[in-house]
Structure 1
């Protein structure tokens, strides 16, 4: 069940338009080397490993054991996509949350972020650093810790901004689940030090993206007329600048997963509302 929910969260993130600059079921955004079919193949390939991470968490695995599973998931992703990195960040962050959910099956309901920080936080901080990752480059060049820092602390931005924005989006969107997801996405983009944005646009690109997201939210987010047109215009701006917030997309999927697991009544309603969309062609934007 945990692997299934994680897989659904990845599809819900993908089939959400417009996320400025990002791949969706509508277009490929700022990306020339990937599309929705590529992401769907990747999500299907890593699904068994997300389940394996949940089982490993349930069995009390340490971080090196989780890392072995994560590396196997990356190899499966690369094989499915022809060498394109679609979900490396999600394998790390969502994978840790799956492992934490596996722990929670033994102990009962839990704050998954707290489980990650308590059980694996020190090992995440002290673990091996990939020499060529966007996160490593951002830490070296800008002093920004990225996904590793968020994970070691128990994903504080997810809980402080992602989940509240998703709940607010559910209210503002009036039952439009895609609107709720987009509201959550913009709230995360406004605050997340996204290393993909830093890689593509430097500090100027990151600050531009965060400013655009804050402007969208300050104007009322998805609770005002014309918000979709505004979001589409922002999407075009990001494509012109070749900007893409991959870390924000990963965090959106992680927020949706946490909502399904921790906020069960509302999360279950969200799953029910989107089952048909996942099985067919998406919400249409």
Structure 2
């Protein structure tokens, strides 16, 4: 099995395990469809199956030694085809658009690391991902700042102009700090404590949700809810370490019901959990063992 196949398979596994992780507040998981009327567990399964053949192509860009400044020329066309495949599979439902962007960059970064050193170091992979995207992302934000609200076409662009929120694009341009500095350490510490993978992943989710700029939450619940309610609650939950008692899981089901009733869904944190799981497993890939 070659590196491209392995990295692509790990990307699919990471997105599948994020879906399995729960209960997550307002999100699709095995327990509920959360705040979503247009998608459910099966919708996500169909979507991730449709995306699976493409992830390895994004890794190939890094594995072939493509310079970061040229990477987007190859990543973007594949990413757009992935969005079309997702739309075909889900009848137009957006299940993974944010993940396609973020994980494609990290697949490039992981592939570039394997090309350079024969192994994946998560911080270095994230830095390479940022190098591929940061110039374009910063230029887009600068142009948007000059043009103002009249030029904003998406919820994310409006949030940037009104509140300075950069969301997943800012996360990528900065080297995925929520993943490297919070998600991965939380996941590793929980696994070292012998927590089951599902609970370790849930712990990583809360660690990410406590710090990331989740444009999904802000768009649905408002900036003040995100800043004053969501972040403190996620921080409190992140302080509780697995293995979890049954009372804590019961409380999470109640929180899921609350977020569902408010129609709030922290999808940005869910995407970054997938990125965390991918890097956690990708660091185990060693080309010296494959050759």
Aligned residue for 1:125, secondary structure, equals: helix
Q: Does 1:17 align with 2:11?
A: no
Which blocks of at least 5 consecutive residues in structure 1 are unaligned?
Answer: 266-285
* 1:197 corresponds to which of 207, 212, 217: 217
**Number of aligned positions between the proteins:** 263
Q: 1:56-135 alignment to 2 at 5 Å?
A: 56-59=61-64, 60=66, 61-108=70-117, 109=119, 110=121, 111-127=124-140, 132-135=153-156
2:289 maps to: none
Aligned residue for 2:86, secondary structure, equals: helix
Q: In structure 2, do the counterparts of structure 1 residues 4 and 210 end up closer, same or farther at CA, with 3 Å as the change threshold?
A: same
Counterparts of 2:163 and 2:133, CA distance in 1:
25
Aligned residue for 2:222, secondary structure, equals: helix
Counterparts of 1:263 and 1:159, CA distance in 2:
16
Counterparts of 2:52 and 2:155, CA distance in 1:
24
Q: Does 1:153 align with 2:174?
A: yes
Deviates more, 1:253-262 or 1:115-124: 115-124
TM-score when scaled to structure 2?
0.85
Q: In structure 2, do the counterparts of structure 1 residues 190 and 79 end up closer, same or farther at CA, with 3 Å as the change threshold?
A: same
Structure 1 residue 263 displacement after superposition = 5.3
Which blocks of at least 5 consecutive residues in structure 2 are unaligned?
Answer: 1-5, 145-150, 287-291
Deviates more, 1:227-236 or 1:189-198: 227-236
Cα displacement string for residues 32-61 of structure 1 (whole angstroms, at most 9, x for unaligned residues) = 000111111111111222111111222315
Q: In structure 2, do the counterparts of structure 1 residues 263 and 127 end up closer, same or farther at CA, with 3 Å as the change threshold?
A: farther
Deviates more, 1:190-199 or 1:206-215: 206-215
Structure 1 residue 127 displacement after superposition = 5.0
Q: Which has the larger radius of gyration?
A: 2
Q: Is the 8 A contact 1:34 1:84 kept in 2?
A: yes
Cα displacement string for residues 225-276 of structure 1 (whole angstroms, at most 9, x for unaligned residues) = 32211211211111121110000000000000000012569xxxxxxxxxxx
TM-score when scaled to structure 1?
0.86
